[in-house]
Amino acid sequence: MANPVCEVLLTKARLEAPKLNADFSAGAIVDFWGTVRQLEDGREIEGIDYEAHEVMATHQLQSVADEAVSKFALGAVIIHHRIGFVSAGEASLFLQVKARRRQAAFEASEWIVDELKRKVPIWKRPKFRAGERISKPEKKPESAIPATMK
Amino acid sequence: MKVRVQFYSQLRDVAGAPELIVDLAEGGTVTDLLGKIYAKVPALRSRDKSILVGAGVEFVDRNYKVQPTDEISIMPPVQGG
């Protein structure tokens, strides 16, 4: 596909799906929404505070999107990630992938979310119903360090 | 050289401040810098294995030579999505 589109955004605003402008020429379009669950570690939460290293996160999101376009021959990648407080039930992540074939679109979507969780400096703090706010436990160190740093 | 170091998420809480200015010899590496930081904030040392380091907008490894103009970010494992 000519002129692939890569769009990344960190925003405090509620996420909405971008209009498709009736462009279904790609062949396969996958939308993925990541939403804040009602429970965190078995406890009810009001929502999650997302903190980002904004400049670095935007750069890393763009790198992930660019690499995905190249790796999966995509026509478009849109990644929108919310920061600030996100209530339970609301979306924290929107991803749209366009490709010629569904296999590439699905595989690229999963790859992008995996890479995002590995490389993009965003952190979350659940706000529990009782008002207690604790940091989410860190992942095990080995799995958390990007391969480029090993 | 004076290096500006910023802490993120839980590490900012542990450090008790959003940033530090650290004196580092020319040619010093990230490992050298972390040693200086741990001397100032001993509570961070126990997080060493999980700490991610950024220079500008890129992740860097422990052998990276810190440049005088670098803004260094000290970060816990990422949790986006």
Per-residue pLDDT at A4: 86
What are the tokens at A90? 């609301």
Map out the domains of chain B with their CATH numbers: 2-75 (3.10.20.30)
CATH code for the part of the protein at A5-14+27-127: 3.90.1170.40
A27-41, A81-95, A101-115, range with the lowest pLDDT: A27-41
**Nearest partner of B57 among A64, A58, A145, judged by Cα:** A58
Helices (H), chain A: 54-72, 102-119, 141-144
Residue A39 near residue A72, CB atoms below 8 Å? no
A/B interface, count of CB pairs below 8 Å: 91
User: Which residues in chain A are closer than 8 Å to B78, comparing Cβ atoms?
Assistant: 117-123, 144
Looking at chain A from residue 119 to 148, which residues have their Cβ under 8 Å from any Cβ of chain B? 119-125, 135-136, 138-139, 141, 144-146, 148
* pLDDT 10s digits, A50-61: 999 999 999 999
Per-residue pLDDT at A22: 55
Say yes or no for a CB contact (<8 Å) between A124 and B77: no
* pLDDT 10s digits, B24-37: 999 999 999 999 99
**Strand-pair partners of A29:** A98
CA distance A9 to A65: 11
CA B62-A50-A82 angle, to 5 degrees, is 110
Residue B31 near residue B45, CB atoms below 8 Å? no
Question: Chain B residue closest to A144 (CA)?
Answer: B77
Residue B53 near residue B30, CB atoms below 8 Å? yes
* pLDDT 10s digits, B8-28: 999 999 999 999 999 999 999
Mutation target vs A (from B45, B53, B78; most A CBs, 10 A cutoff): B78
Region A15-19: mean pLDDT is 83
> What are B's interface residues with A at a Cβ cutoff of 8 A?
8-10, 13, 47, 49-50, 52-54, 56-62, 73, 75-81
* pLDDT 10s digits, A111-122: 999 999 999 999
CA distance A76 to A18: 12
Region B36-42: mean pLDDT is 97
What are the tokens at A131? 């008002």
Is 50 exceeded by the pLDDT of residue B6? yes
Is 90 exceeded by the pLDDT of residue A137? no
Four-CA torsion B24, B29, B31, B35, nearest 10 degrees: -10
Is 70 exceeded by the pLDDT of residue A128? yes
Is 60 exceeded by the pLDDT of residue B45? yes
Domain residue limits, chain A: 5-14+27-127
User: Which residues in chain B are closer than 8 Å to A148, comparing Cβ atoms?
Assistant: 59, 61
| CA B19 to chain CA centroid, nearest Å | 9
**Nearest partner of A63 among A77, A50, A81, A53, judged by Cα:** A77
Report which secondary-structure segment, H or E, holds B32.
helix B30-40
